[in-house]
């Protein structure tokens, strides 16, 4: 071991949506990262997957899943209901929604990812939001401890990216800490692949170009790390994959055609890949359930399956009924967006398009099989 180098650094690189099927047929750091594993994701969007990676827990344990859930008693959004009196052509514009989201986030001092998306303002006082705190700091979880709680308690000198910053800035921040030789563990956050795949789909040559850019950047990270550490252990992981959208379903209009009163008979959120319903009388549940049985390209998830997926929540927090679309079927319009996109995730974790990836230059510990195992890998690599 060199007298001028630190002994070891373990670097975990999180690339959002770098799915196993996205990598299929593509070359990406094959020689550098010969150990390659397919990991099963968890059911839900990144708002569920990332907390599971950071804690090793399933959604019902850490209590992070879809962003919005029915809870009029705790809703912080009651003042926003007045915006429902304004023309939707104004308040539903993307720029207007983003501006209002920033104001709300600052007013309530939310430190996590926060976006109002397209929840109608006239109903927004019926909902609460699950990611109010920064997930990437100690104490950031709704329940349970994340890797940063363990790193802090163990006194491990570490680096973590600012998830709000662009990828280039996160790369430069990591390089600066590597040059000091003082950290022994690093988590690099790279989010742009997810947005690209939503826009162009996994078959696009733009994905190959982005992978080539990642490879060049990580080669430079490895070069700098090797100058300051005797051993450099590199792991590249993801949270889910991406399916190509082939069908659109207007689920919202189908439900509204029943003539039921939103907020009195039922409440619903329409995510991109699922409808989540709360019922305020038994007859409403029966009518909506019967309707959903006739909607092609999706199915209602039984309680037993939700239990197996780790998504059976106390008090039906995130929905009394979950109607999930088949992979490649998109709900349009939804409360997450009003326009169709090319790629989407948030489908059943058993579908191949949902599988995540783990690539490394050393054999990963504990034979990881699911994204929850990335947490145990990080603990083992950091000594936390």
260-288 tens-digit pLDDT: 999 999 999 999 999 999 999 999 999 99
List the one residue out of 148, 66, 104 whose CA is nearest residue 322. 66
Cβ within 8 Å of residue 100, ≥6 positions away: 80, 83, 91, 116
In the chain, which stretches have pLDDT less than 70? 1-3
Which CATH number is 246-340's, of 3.40.30.10, 1.20.120.1200, 3.30.1360.180, 3.40.50.300? 3.30.1360.180
Cβ–Cβ under 8 Å, residues 274 and 323: yes
Give dist(CA 346, CA 351) in Å, integer: 10
Phi, psi of 311, rounded to the nearest 5 degrees: -125, 30
Distance CA 13, CA 238 (A): 8
Q: Phi-psi bin for 137: left (phi > 0), alpha (psi -120 to 50), beta? A: beta
Instruction: From 117, 125, 66, 110, select the one nearest 96 (Cα to Cα).
Output: 117
For the chain, residues classed under CATH 3.30.1360.180 are 246-340
Per residue in 112-121, pLDDT (tens digit) is: 999 999 999 9
CATH 3.40.50.2000 fits 7-59+140-243+350-382, yes or no: no
Which segments of the chain belong to CATH 3.40.720.10? 7-59+140-243+350-382
Collapsed DSSP state (helix, strand, coil) of residue 90: helix
CA distances from 254 to 216, 277, 293, 296, 321 (A): 48, 14, 12, 12, 16
3-state SS class at 330:
strand
Farthest-apart Cα atoms in the chain, separation: 76
Q: Is 164 helix (H, G, I), strand (E, B) or coil?
A: coil
Q: How far apart are CA 62 and CA 51, in angstroms?
A: 7
Q: Which of 353, 348, 334 is nearest to 302 (CA)?
A: 348
**Where do we find the tokens 């990080």?**
378
Contact at 8 Å (CB) between 346 and 44? Answer: yes
Does residue 331 contact residue 252 with C-beta atoms inside 8 Å? yes
Which tokens go with 45? 């969007």
CB 45 within 8 A of CB 346: yes
């Amino acid at each position: 071991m060199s007298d001028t180098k630190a002994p070891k650094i373990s670097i975990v690189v999180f690339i959002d949506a770098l799915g196993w099927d996205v990598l299929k047929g593509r070359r990406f750091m094959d020689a550098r990262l010969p150990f390659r594993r397919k990991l099963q994701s968890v059911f839900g969007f990144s708002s569920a997957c990332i907390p599971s990676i950071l804690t090793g827990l399933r959604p019902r344990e850490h209590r992070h899943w879809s962003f919005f859930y029915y809870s009029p008693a705790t809703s912080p959004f009651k003042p926003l209901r007045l915006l429902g009196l304004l023309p939707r052509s104004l308040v539903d514009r993307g720029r207007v929604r983003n501006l209002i989201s920033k104001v709300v986030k600052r007013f309530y001092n939310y430190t996590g990812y926060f976006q109002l998306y397209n929840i109608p303002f006239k109903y927004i006082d019926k909902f609460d939001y699950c990611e109010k705190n920064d997930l990437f700091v100690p104490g950031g979880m709704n329940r349970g401890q994340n890797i940063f709680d363990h790193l802090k308690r163990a006194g491990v000198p570490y680096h973590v990216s600012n998830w709000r910053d662009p990828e280039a800035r996160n790369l430069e921040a990591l390089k600066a800490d590597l040059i000091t030789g003082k950290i022994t563990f690093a988590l690099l956050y790279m989010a742009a692949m997810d947005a690209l795949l939503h826009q162009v789909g996994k078959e696009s040559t733009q994905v190959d170009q982005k992978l080539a850019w990642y490879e060049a950047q990580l080669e430079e990270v490895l070069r700098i790390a090797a100058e300051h550490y005797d051993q450099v252990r590199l792991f590249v992981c993801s949270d889910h994959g991406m399916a190509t959208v082939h069908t659109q379903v207007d689920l919202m209009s189908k439900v509204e055609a029943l003539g039921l009163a939103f907020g009195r008979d039922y409440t619903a959120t329409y995510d991109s890949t699922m409808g989540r319903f709360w019922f305020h009388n038994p007859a409403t549940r029966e009518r909506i359930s019967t309707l959903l049985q006739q909607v092609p390209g999706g199915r209602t998830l039984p309680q037993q399956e939700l239990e197996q997926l780790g998504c059976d929540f106390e008090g039906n927090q995130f929905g009394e009924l979950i109607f999930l679309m088949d992979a490649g079927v998109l709900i349009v319009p939804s409360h997450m967006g009003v326009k169709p996109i090319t790629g989407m995730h948030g489908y059943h974790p058993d579908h191949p398009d949902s599988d995540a990836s783990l690539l490394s230059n050393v054999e990963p510990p504990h034979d990881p099989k699911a994204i929850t195992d990335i947490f145990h890998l990080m603990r083992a690599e950091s000594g936390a």
